[in-house]
Chain A
Amino acid sequence: MMEALAFDFFRNALYAGLLASLICGVIGSLVVVNRIVFLAGGVAHASYGGVGLAFFLGLPVLPVTAGFSTLAALGMAWVTLSARERADTVIGVLWAAGMALGIILLDLTPGYNSDLMSYLFGSILAVPDSDLWLMAGLSGAVLLLVALFSRGLLVMSFDLEFARSRGVPVRFLHFLLMGLTALCVVMVIRVVGLILVMALLTIPPFMAERRARSLPGMMLLAGLFSAVFCVVGLYLSYALDLTCGATIIAVACLGFLVSLAVPQRRQPATQRGAA
């Protein structure tokens, strides 16, 4: 690991992984407790259209994908609010349409070659400094927004009906959460790729949910799990010469299995375990 850290690209990979972990812990927790994992999957796949668009227009990939994904996410948020009973179907359509658009645009792009795979499975070993800064900026913005609206997000996540009865603007918060999910997805695409985005968004929060005593606690714990998976996955992929993104996810899945096997602290009525 130490000799690997001497390489710029490896250090950048490490920073990218840690940034992604931080943001996945926060947004993934909100996604899991609000039960919008399917929506997040829709956004992740539709964002591929953004990648295609960026290549086709010859523009920088990350900003274009971020814009495209945010629009797709807001569209899906609107569909879930206005046509609730058919929302899952419509999201399935957008899911497929985004991916198809991305591939067709890449086909139409002259001189395009190998980057397709890197966006499907991640290209964490090729994160340039500029992308790292952009990721840090996005993380900061996402964290700031979550902190600013934290109480509303908490009330809404816990009990939508009650939140609405108290005049909490749940419509706005739903759009906000979908927008933040889109930004998060775009960041994580860099690290583990589009196909495996869902794993980082769901596995660490799932493991954290049963062990935390508050939503911020869950976010912190999920971020921590995520960071461990990224670091261990990166090291293993370096040592064993494996694909980074896939190795990180393999480690996460292993952690998931171990977490299922370790009994969670179920406190009987008499004994109260300290947190």
Chain B
Amino acid sequence: MNIPALEISNLWFAYDGVRVLDQVNLVLPAGDFLAVLGPNGGGKSTLLKLLLGLEKPGGGSVRVLGQPAGQAGGRIGYLPQFTQVSASFPITVLGAVMLGLVRPGLVWFVGRAQRAKEREAALKALSRVGLAEEAHRRLSDLSGGQRQRVFIARAIVSGPELLLLDEPTASVDGKSRQELMALLAELNRDMTIVMVSHDMSTVDGCVKSIACVNKTLHLHADSRLTPEIFAQAMGVSLVEGCPVELLAHGPVPHRVVLDHDSPDCCGGAHAHKKNGGPSA
């Protein structure tokens, strides 16, 4: 496929006259796995909304899968932030995944044959995320990590070419996070993935490139974490040589961890102790 997954040129966007995104340029080849990092309020979520066509750009152009933003429909799989869904909503796991097959517009008459097809597609998506066994349970009976995988199943049930994920690993525990990232790496074989995250620990082997968004966008076509990336991602200036310093503290003064200048810390090897960082 020669059409890039994303083509963004000279994009800007303003809320109430204040530009939250400016001069954003990006060409993302199909098959990539992009992690979008950046400080809160840096414009990550706005960028995602622009890609989905939920917000109109102030200027510049956004093309998604070769089409104007908002027109690619089911070719894009979307995972909104975790907090959107009420925990007590009466729906089965299978029912929730089938909602990913909804079409634009108002009225749908779904015949029996169509419904059977939708069920089958939903079951396939569920087995892909390893939850086929749970298909007929109530969604509210699942754990947080499992529920997140159900929503990934809903995002991929339409067979998308591009997967947009908003903070997929927020509010799940460490083990589930690893499982989620392994699942995403596997899905990446079939589709391009763009993942918004403020969680640096998600940027491991499976991510292929990194974009730092803080009003403007810096693309690093390489998933190696460099001090510059951390500085950009945390929205601070590069003052320290060690990324973890920035990761754990940003510009906040040290309290829990020894300062890196201290001779007791790391011995130059950056072997950080586990109780390292107060998380956000």
B-contacting residues of A (Cβ < 8 Å)? 33, 35, 148-149, 151-152, 154-155, 157-169, 172, 208-210, 212-215, 217-218, 266-267, 272
Contacts and interface: CB of A to CB of B under 8 A. Distances in A.
B15 interface: no
Contacts of A169: 105-106
Contacts of A267: 137-138, 141
Interface in B67-81: 70, 73-74, 76, 78, 80-81
A168 B104 CA distance: 5
A149 B78 contact: no
B62 to A, nearest CB: 14
Contacts of A213: 90-92, 138
5 smallest beta-carbon distances between A and B, as pairs: A167-B104, A161-B80, A212-B90, A165-B78, A218-B90
Contacts of A165: 52-54, 76, 78, 80
Given A266-B141, A267-B141, A149 B106 contact: yes
- Most chain B CB atoms below 10 A, which of A151, A210, A217, A267: A151
Contacts, number: 86
B85 A158 contact: yes
A160 to B, nearest CB: 7
A152 B106 contact: yes
A245 B103 CA distance: 43
B69 to A, nearest CB: 11
Interface string B9-49: 00000000000000000000000000000000000000000
30 contacts: A149-B106, A151-B102, A151-B108, A151-B110, A152-B106, A154-B99, A158-B85, A158-B91, A158-B99, A161-B84, A162-B78, A162-B80, A165-B52, A165-B76, A165-B78, A166-B74, A166-B102, A167-B73, A169-B106, A208-B90, A209-B88, A209-B89, A210-B88, A210-B90, A213-B138, A214-B91, A267-B138, A267-B141, A272-B136, A272-B137
Given A149-B107, A167-B73, A158 B96 contact: yes
Contact of B86 (A35, A148, A164, A168): A35
Given A154-B99, A166-B73, A148 B92 contact: no
Given A167-B103, A266-B141, 18 more contacts: A33-B89, A33-B90, A149-B106, A152-B102, A157-B89, A159-B80, A165-B53, A165-B54, A165-B78, A166-B78, A166-B103, A167-B70, A167-B105, A209-B90, A214-B92, A215-B90, A215-B91, A267-B137
Interface in B96-152: 96, 99, 102-108, 110, 136-138, 141
B91 to A, nearest CB: 6
> Looking at chain A's contact residues, is the secondary structure mostly helix, strand, loop, or mixed?
helix
Contacts of A166: 73-74, 78, 102-104
B95 interface: yes
A162 B104 CA distance: 12
Interface residues of B, number: 34
Contacts of B106: 149, 152, 169, 172
Nearest to A216: B90
- Most chain B CB atoms below 10 A, which of A33, A158, A214: A158
A21 B228 CA distance: 63
A152 B102 CA distance: 8
Nearest to B48: A165
A218 B84 CA distance: 20
Nearest to B53: A165
Contacts of B92: 213-214
Given A154-B99, A213-B91, A267-B137, A162 B84 contact: yes
Interface in B148-193: 154
- Most chain B CB atoms below 10 A, which of A152, A166, A168, A217: A166
Contacts of B86: 33, 35
Contacts of B107: 148-149, 152
Nearest to B77: A165
Contacts of B136: 272
Nearest to A169: B106
A33 B87 CA distance: 10
B99 to A, nearest CB: 5
Contacts of A212: 90
Nearest to B155: A162
B92 to A, nearest CB: 6
Given A149-B107, A159-B80, A214 B95 contact: yes
Nearest to B76: A165
B139 to A, nearest CB: 9
